[in-house]
Amino acid sequence: GASSGEGHCFGLFAIFIETCCCCSPQCCYILYWPCPMCGDDNYAAFFTEQARAAGEKLREIAGEDGLYYFYVSPYTRTEETMFEVCKALDVNRITGVREEPRIREQDFGNLQSDGSDGGAPMGLLKRQRLAFGRFFFRFPDGESAADVYDRVTGFRDTLLADINMGRFAPGTAGEDGEGKGEHTVVVVTHGISLRVFLMRWYKMYVNQFEMLPNPRNCELVVMERGEGGRYSLMPFHGEE
């Protein structure tokens, strides 16, 4: 369920935008996925505004003394989102940025077809996915959500290793030694990858994954650590 998480020593707060007791981050996923109208200047300005608002919200949650470490999908839109989010933060409090291919969007095939080239139209494939099951359906030349689960598990293991080695220990910002706040780990990724991560972290069943709604564009999904060291999703967070 959403009220429990793995008992690892993350920081005080985990946003998905995710956090250890003494060496913990606060984890956060900020989402940005491509829209068919992203080439329109008006839409581009709107999405830029959304990303900057997400940065302001992140700073509000983490506090003025917060430190930030970013994992970002290598896609253009996620990198652009991270760039805009960082404009709302003190750059001296960002302790690292890592491009992470394992949190890229689900591969829907090398080239999406409208049917005119003899390939299956994407609309037809999505209807087939709905009938077959969203978790197990694999797109031609692409992935299923089950395939995403495997690579996201690898990312989760890397994240835990970074936590356990003390990468997110408090007070590691800058050479001036002024960074004394808690870390927030910010993961900039995509809708399906985010939902699969939550599925993996909270050990959800497949039918629970299939009921998860896709987050809104640039939405912050927050995992907060309780006194007992376990993570829960806002707004389900409790003291334990």
What are the DSSP calls for the chain, one per residue?
-TT--------S-EEE----TTT---EEEEE----TTTTSHHHHHHHHHHHHHHHHHHHHHH-TT-EEEEEE-SSHHHHHHHHHHHTTS-GGGEEEEEE-GGGSPPP--SS---STTSSPPHHHHHHHHHHH-TTT---TTS--HHHHHHHHHHHHHHHHHHHHTTTT-SS-SSTTS---S-EEEEEEE-HHHHHHHHHHHTT--HHHHHHPPPPPTT-EEEEEE-TTS-EEETTS----
Averaged pLDDT score across all residues of the chain = 77
Largest CA distance in the chain: 61
Question: What pLDDT shows up at residue 155?
Answer: 95
Note the pLDDT tens digit of each residue in 68-105: 999 999 998 889 889 999 999 999 999 999 999 999 99
Q: What is the predicted pLDDT for the residue at 163?
A: 82
Q: What is the pLDDT of residue 158?
A: 94
Q: What percentage of the chain carries pLDDT values higher than 70?
A: 69
Nearest residue to 79 (alpha-carbon basis) of 38, 30, 41:
30
pLDDT band at 10 (very low <50, low <70, confident <90, very high): very low
Determine the pLDDT at residue 177: 45
Tokens representing 198? 């939550």
Per-residue pLDDT band for 56 (boundaries 50, 70, 90) equals very high
pLDDT at residue number 37: 47
Q: Are 66 and 181 in contact (CB under 8 A)?
A: yes
pTM of the model as a whole = 0.79
pLDDT for 39 equals 53
99 DSSP β-pair partners: 72
| Residue 4 burial (CB count, 10 A) | 17
Does the pLDDT at position 148 exceed 90? yes
Asked if residue 181 has pLDDT above 50, the reply is: yes
**What value does the mean pLDDT take over residues 159-170?**
83
What is the reported pLDDT for 19? 31
| Confidence (pLDDT) at 227 | 67
Tokens of 143: 């992935």
β-pair partners for 47: none
What would the mean pLDDT of 170-198 be, rounded to a whole number?
75
Confidence of residue 31 (pLDDT cuts 50, 70, 90): low
Selection from 41-50, 89-98, 178-187 with the highest mean pLDDT:
89-98
Mean pLDDT of 179-207: 88
Q: What's the pLDDT band for 47 if we cut at 50, 70, 90?
A: confident
| Residue 95 · residue 169 · CB < 8 Å | no
